[in-house]
Amino acid sequence: MKLLLKGGRVINPETKFDQVADVLIEDGKVAAIGENLTADGAEVYDASGKVVTPGLIDMHVHFREPGQEAKEDFLSGSSAAVAGGYTTVCTMPNARPAVDDAETVRSLKKRAEDVGKCHIEIIGAVTKNREGKELAELGDMIEAGAVAFSDDGNFDPKAKVLLSAFDYLHTFDKVIINHDEEPSLVEDGVMNEGHNSAMLGMKGRPRVAEDIAVARDILLAEYAGARVHVAHMSTCGATDLVRMAKRKGIRVTAEATPQHMTMTDDCVKLFDSSTKINPPLREKKDNEALIEGLKDGTIDAIVTDHSPHAQEDKDKEYPFAPSGFPGLETAVGVLLTDLVEPGKVDLPTIIEKMTLGPAKILGLDRGRLAEGARADVTVIDPKLVWTVDDKKFYTRGSHSPFVGRELHGKPVLTIVDGKVVMKDGKVY
C-alpha cells in the first residue's frame, strides 16, 4: 500500500525538521519526505493546513486487563488511542491480578497483537502484587517483553526494596516509573490540600507528600546509578527537585498530564467526581511550574494517565468515587487549546513530548518521522473546532471533566505501520 500525504506541516523532533513537505508511505515505512513528491498508484491525502507528526506515544495508560474489562479492555482502549492520534501506548500493571510475572506479560502481548488497533506495550510490576514487599519476576518479564516497571497507584514505602529493584534493573537499563506520594500524608485525602478542600469540607492530599517521595526516589536512583521516572508530576516542588537532579547528572526523567498543566482545584465540585484524580489537581502556581518544566526540558513526556471507570463506580459523591478519567481522546485538543493557542508552549515542544520524549525513555525505536522509519504517523488539524461528547468516545469511560468543552485542534488521521486506522474520527 502506498499513501502520499501532501502539503502538510511536517514536524520531526529528532532532527528539528519543521516545514511544509510531502510524506510518502510505502510497505509500512516512510519512503520519502520532500517537496512535490509523486508516486504511481499511491492514495493521496491532502494534508494542507494540517500538521504531520510521528505517531503519538502515551507511556501511561490503564487498559484494565486482566480482570477489570468492564472498565476498559485492549480493544476499546486502543480504539480510543487511535481516535486520539496515538500509535503506541504503554499499559500499567495495576490490573487484577497485577502484571507481575512473565506469563502474564506474554499473554497480554499476545492479546495486544490479536485485538490492538495500535502498538500496546506492557509495563510490569516492580513488586509482587504491587505490595512493595518482594521483588517481582523482573528479569523474566524483561525477557517476555516488558518495557518498564511500576507499582503505579502504590508508593513503595520500603526504601530497601526499591533500592534492590534499582540495583537489579540497572543491569538491563530499564526504568522504574514511580507514583510518588508519601502514604502517611495522603491517607483518605481526595483532593489538593488547601483553601478549596477546607471550603468543601474534604480531606486533602498535600503537595509535600509528592515532594518528599520524589526526593527519596531521586536519592535512591543516584545511589544506585539507576534510572527513575516520576509519574504524573503535579507540584512546583517536585518540578524543582527533578530540575536540580538533572543538573547533577542523576538519571531522572518525568512526565506530566494535560489536566495537571491546565486545570486547578478550583474545578473540583462535590457532586462531580470527574475531576477526582491522584495526584490531585493542584493550583495555578503548580500549572505554571509544570509548563515551565515542559519548556526547559525538566519534563520529558506528556501522558494522559487514561483511567476509565465503569459508570456505576464513578457516578458517586466525590469522596467515594475512584480516581481517574479517560484522556486519550481529548489530550491533543486540550493541549492545543489551553497551551499552544494562548502561546504558553509552542507546538514542536508539545509534539516532542508526545513522541520522541517517551520513546527515548522506554528505548523504543519510534517517535521520529524520517526516511526508513516505521510508518507510525499522526495528522492533526490544528484549526478544527469540536465539542467533547462522551457519547462519541471509543473508550468505555465517560466521566471526563472536558465533556461539553469546545476545543480547537484534533487528530484527523492515524497511521499504524503504514495502515490507516483512524480517519476523521472513524476508527477502522
**Domain boundaries of the chain, sorted by first residue:** 2-51+374-427, 55-362
Residue 389 has pLDDT above 80, yes or no: yes
Evaluate whether 39 touches 27 at the Cβ level (below 8 Å). Answer: no
Phi-psi region of 343 (alpha: psi -120 to 50; beta: other; left: phi over 0): left
Evaluate whether 228 touches 215 at the Cβ level (below 8 Å). Answer: no
> Is the whole-model pTM more than 0.95?
yes
CB neighbours of residue 336 within 10 Å = 23
DSSP 281: P
Helix axes 102-115, 74-83, angle to 10 degrees: 60
Residue 98 has pLDDT above 80, yes or no: yes
Q: Would you call 238 helix, strand, or coil by DSSP?
A: helix
C-alpha cell at 173: 537499563
The secondary structure of 368-401 as a DSSP string is ---TTSB--EEEEEEEEEEE--GGG-SSS----T
C-alpha cell at 416: 499504524
**HSE, side-chain direction, 13 A CA sphere, residue 64:** 21
Tens of pLDDT, residue by residue over 137-189, are 999 999 999 999 999 988 877 899 999 999 999 999 999 999 999 999 998 99
As a whole number of angstroms, the distance between CA 252 and CA 261 comes to 20
Mean pLDDT, range 237-249, rounded to an integer: 98
Fold annotation for 2-51+374-427: Urease, subunit C; domain 1 (2.30.40)
CB neighbours of residue 171 within 10 Å = 11
pLDDT band at 18 (very low <50, low <70, confident <90, very high): very high
Residue 154 pLDDT: 87
What is the dotted CATH code of the domain comprising 55-362?
A: 3.20.20.140
What is the set of active-site residues?
Answer: 305
CB neighbours of residue 123 within 10 Å = 25
Beta bridge partners of 31: none
Mean pLDDT, range 357-379, rounded to an integer: 97
Burial (0-12, 13-18, 19+ Cβ within 10 Å), 184: exposed
Tens of pLDDT, residue by residue over 303-321, are 999 999 998 999 999 999 9
